[in-house]
A and B are shown apart, each in its own frame.
Chain A
Amino acid sequence: MVADEPVASDLVRLGVVPRQGGLVPLRTKDEVRAALETFNAYVLEVPARHAGIVKDVVQAAIPDLKTADFQHLRRVVQFKYLPVHIQKKYRPPHPSRPRGDSGEVSSENDVAEDDDAARYFLISPSSAIAHAELVDVLKRNTPFADSSKPPVILTICVPALAPTSAEQAAKWSVEYWPISYKNTNPYGPHPSLVARNAAEIANDAGGLLGLADAVAEQTFSKGFGEKVACVVVDRTAGINEIIAVTGDCRWRCSGNDAPQRDGPGNVMAHAVQRAIAMVAKKRLRVAGHDPASKPSPHSFCDSPLTSLEEHFYSKDNIPSNGYLCVDLDIYLTHEPCVMCSMAILHSRFRRCTFGRRMPLTGGLTADNALPGKGGYISPTTGLGHGIFWRPSELNWKFLSWEWVEEDTAAMVKDSIKDTLQA
């Protein structure tokens, strides 16, 4: 894109090597939950013309059944729409002849309009009524009361929550039970919103992460901190205006004290904290309040310390009337720790992209929040906080992506330990 060229050439001049790869949107905490949670439900084979009667019988037997709780599950389904594993349970393949799929399906189609054709009725969650009680109730009512055939009830596993995309609905319809998708995502940003934003930032993301790599290299080689950095940009005008770049400075001497390398170092000097502080100082400067006249405490580490940090800090390229980091995007070499994730949220960033996922310390990803012993999640699979999108609990949310290298074999293998708080 022509509009992106000035930024790209600026980065080339600074010796930045763009990363090659693409963006993958993070799943929200609720999306992870929606993808994992299931319950058991009863399915009943019933002649099509009696489906309505059976529905009434079930509602009378389970008066407080809330069908709204499983609206995403189709209630009455034709045989041909059942997942294969359920089809096989109702009509096992004939042992003497190989199952001819075309023959079976066409015969099913032939009788599809027939009132006596079978329908498959999702009765209720199995927690709503005991199996024996359900059989009893059905046997006492039409059509099973007048039939020698007992009701055939299966207990199947179904997703507990609505799907968050059409793809997920299609997948679940094959794996569990026919699902209806309402073209909304109650558990996260709408897929089309995520796709639109990803398309907007995808071209430049590799270059900006490359810049973050270069920034990290500078602060690291001076011994100031770990090889972690971030880049803050304003893309509201359609091109990336780079507002601040900062590297991690946790090991830099504070006052007269050199942090012990076996401890956490100066936590307040993580790259994200420094970047947010520099954005604020820049706004003060542009507004005519020289932040240099009242230096902040040494341990905030909020002044530029390398040539790259100085290069971007010195530009007066931010409006003075903005507040916090509203409308700004942030690119990070690593998934930020819980403190930095919440700092990004407090500062109301618009979008966030990071390089390496940090399953033991990262605050943004929500994946693999599998319940472990005593209600805790297993820390080896991810902390599961998903801080970027928890709108019912925290009062801001932003879109987030992780960067995946084009050549997965060459995934950035940095020397940073898994236990590092980035």
Chain B
Amino acid sequence: MNAKEKVYHERFMREAINMAELALRSDETPVGCVFVKDGEIIGRGMNATNKTLNGTRHAEFVAIAGILEKHPISVLKETDLYVTVEPCVMCASMLRQYGIKCVYFGCWNERFGGTGGVLNIHSDPSVDKPYPVQGGIFREEAIMLLRKFYVQENEKAPEPKQKKTRELKTQILPMDIHAPKS
């Protein structure tokens, strides 16, 4: 990645980080994303598993649901994803089925990662076209947000609520954050 490309990608990853910060303020696991077509953001999302009681409401699903309110499904084939944490196996498969162009992410996801962290759903044999991925953009910031969330959760009373939120962390477990596998 040359300097010019770096500036381009960091601009969008900054927007994804902003979404993750919004998630943190909403007591959701801080994962955020933006979808970019022709240099323009066409959708934003953040994890919403706690609010919905639905363990599949990951940032990527939330953002695509918003995009499909205005755009045809085929728009995703011309779209890149910037997400603060590596997509999980579920989202990695969804993105491949929709035909996403490219995925850029911050930190790796050792528990659920579908684009290198655990499985390689983006490139494994499949009936759908593979897509390229690039991880490590603003990795430390993505990790720092997850750590903040973990601390925030632990400080929080009362016990029943804490238990509930812990059980709904399906997008990533904050204790699993790690550096890329060599």
Inter-subunit contact B73/A323 (CB<8 Å): no
> Using a CB-CB cutoff of 8 Å, which residues 57-79 of chain B contact chain A?
61, 64-66, 68-74
Residues of B with C-beta under 8 A to A273: 56
Contact mask A279-300 → B, CB, 8 Å, 1/0? 0100110000000000011111
Residues of B with C-beta under 8 A to A266: 68, 73
Inter-subunit contact A342/B90 (CB<8 Å): yes
Count of A interface residues, CB-CB < 8 Å: 50
Cα A50 to Cα B154 in complex, Å, equals 64
A34 within 8 A of B: no
Which of A149-157, A174-182, A211-219, A372-380 lies at the interface with chain B? A372-380
Which of A257, A283, A361, A363 is most buried by chain B, counting CB atoms within 10 A of its CB? A257
Number of A-B contacts (CB under 8 A): 136
Inter-subunit contact B93/A339 (CB<8 Å): yes
Known A-B contacts A348-B55, A383-B126, A419-B127; A268 and B61 likewise in contact (beta carbons under 8 Å):
yes
B98 within 8 A of A: yes
Residues of B with C-beta under 8 A to A395: 111-112, 173
Which of B22-30, B117-125, B134-142, B144-152 lies at the interface with chain A? B117-125
Residues of B with C-beta under 8 A to A255: 68-70
Inter-subunit contact B124/A276 (CB<8 Å): no
B178 to chain A, nearest CB (A): 14
Which of A276, A325, A338, A363 is most buried by chain B, counting CB atoms within 10 A of its CB? A338
Cα A259 to Cα B74 in complex, Å, equals 8
Known A-B contacts A348-B55, A383-B124; A297 and B88 likewise in contact (beta carbons under 8 Å):
no
Cα A207 to Cα B125 in complex, Å, equals 35
Contact mask A251-265 → B, CB, 8 Å, 1/0? 000110101100111
Cα A387 to Cα B93 in complex, Å, equals 13
Inter-subunit contact A346/B118 (CB<8 Å): no
Measured CB to CB, the nearest residue on chain A to B66 is A297
Identify which of B53, B90, B99 contacts A343 (C-beta below 8 A).
Answer: B90
Identify which of B55, B97, B124 contacts A347 (C-beta below 8 A).
Answer: B55
Cα A323 to Cα B128 in complex, Å, equals 33
Cα A255 to Cα B71 in complex, Å, equals 8
Cα A315 to Cα B77 in complex, Å, equals 40
Known A-B contacts A347-B55, A377-B125, A383-B124; A342 and B167 likewise in contact (beta carbons under 8 Å):
no
B17 within 8 A of A: no
Identify which of B68, B74, B90, B118 contacts A297 (C-beta below 8 A).
Answer: B68
A324 within 8 A of B: yes
B52 within 8 A of A: yes
Contact mask A315-341 → B, CB, 8 Å, 1/0? 000000001110000000000011110
A277 within 8 A of B: yes
B168 within 8 A of A: yes
Residues of A with C-beta under 8 A to B114: 342
Contact mask B4-39 → A, CB, 8 Å, 1/0? 000000000000000000000000000000000000
Size bin of chain B's contact surface: 35 or more
Which of B53, B54, B71, B88 is most buried by chain A, counting CB atoms within 10 A of its CB? B54
Inter-subunit contact B69/A298 (CB<8 Å): yes
Residues of B with C-beta under 8 A to A267: 94, 97-98
B42 within 8 A of A: no
Inter-subunit contact B170/A346 (CB<8 Å): yes
Identify which of B71, B73, B124, B125 contacts A260 (C-beta below 8 A).
Answer: B73
Measured CB to CB, the nearest residue on chain A to B166 is A323
B158 to chain A, nearest CB (A): 14
Inter-subunit contact B65/A297 (CB<8 Å): yes
Inter-subunit contact A361/B73 (CB<8 Å): no
A227 to chain B, nearest CB (A): 18
Inter-subunit contact B53/A393 (CB<8 Å): no
Cα A343 to Cα B121 in complex, Å, equals 14
Inter-subunit contact A338/B93 (CB<8 Å): yes
B101 to chain A, nearest CB (A): 15
Inter-subunit contact B125/A264 (CB<8 Å): no
A305 within 8 A of B: no
Measured CB to CB, the nearest residue on chain A to B163 is A323
Residues of B with C-beta under 8 A to A337: 93, 97
B89 within 8 A of A: yes
Residues of B with C-beta under 8 A to A421: 97, 127-128
> Using a CB-CB cutoff of 8 Å, which residues 74-114 of chain B contact chain A?
74, 88-94, 97-99, 111-112, 114
Residues of B within 8 A of A (CB): 52-56, 61, 64-66, 68-74, 88-94, 97-99, 111-112, 114, 118-119, 121, 124-128, 164, 167-168, 170, 173
Known: A254-B68, A264-B73, A395-B111. 19 other contacts (CB 8 A): A255-B68, A255-B70, A260-B73, A264-B128, A267-B98, A268-B65, A277-B56, A284-B52, A297-B65, A297-B68, A297-B69, A299-B65, A300-B65, A339-B97, A340-B90, A348-B55, A361-B126, A378-B125, A383-B126
Chain A to chain B: the 10 pairs with minimum beta-carbon distance, closest first:
A342-B90, A379-B125, A297-B65, A280-B54, A339-B93, A338-B93, A299-B68, A342-B89, A346-B170, A280-B53
